[in-house]
Amino acid sequence: MKTDAFRSTFAPHVEGLIAHKRAIGYRYQTQAAILSRFDRFCVSHHGNEQTVSKEIVFHWAERRPGESVGAVRIRVSVVRQLALYLQTLGHEAYVIPPRTLPRYLQYVPYIFTERELQLFFSQTDSCRYWGGSPLRHLVMPVLFRLFYCCGLRVSEASNLKLRDVDLDHGVLTVRGGKFGRDRQVPMSDEITNRLRDYCKRVPAVLGEDRYLLGSSLLERPLPVRTVYFNFRRFLWEAGISHGGAGKGPRVHDFRHTFAVHCLRRWVQEGKDLSAYLPLLTAYLGHSHFRQTAYYLRLTADLYPAITARVEQIFGQIIPQLEVVHENH
In whole angstroms, give the CA distance from residue 196 to residue 9: 54
Q: Which of 250, 286, 297, 328 is catalytic?
A: 286
Q: Which of 145, 255, 256, 297 is catalytic?
A: 255
Can 252 be counted among the known catalytic residues? yes
Can 136 be counted among the known catalytic residues? no
Can 255 be counted among the known catalytic residues? yes
Can 286 be counted among the known catalytic residues? yes
CB 249 within 8 A of CB 242: yes
Can 153 be counted among the known catalytic residues? yes
Q: Which of 13, 136, 145, 153 is catalytic?
A: 153
Helix (H) or strand (E) holding 166, with range, is strand 165-166
Give the bridge partners for 183, in sequence order: 174
Q: Which of 28, 283, 294, 295 is catalytic?
A: 295
CA nearest neighbour of 322 among 288, 298, 302? 298
CB 58 within 8 A of CB 73: no
Q: Which of 178, 250, 261, 328 is catalytic?
A: 178
CB 115 within 8 A of CB 229: no
Side chain identity at residue 193, one-letter code: N
Q: Which of 75, 145, 252, 256 is catalytic?
A: 252
3-state SS, 225-282, equals HHHHHHHHHHHHHHCCCCCCCCCCCCCCHHHHHHHHHHHHHHHHCCCCHHHHHHHHHH
Residues serving a catalytic function are 153, 178, 252, 255, 286, 295
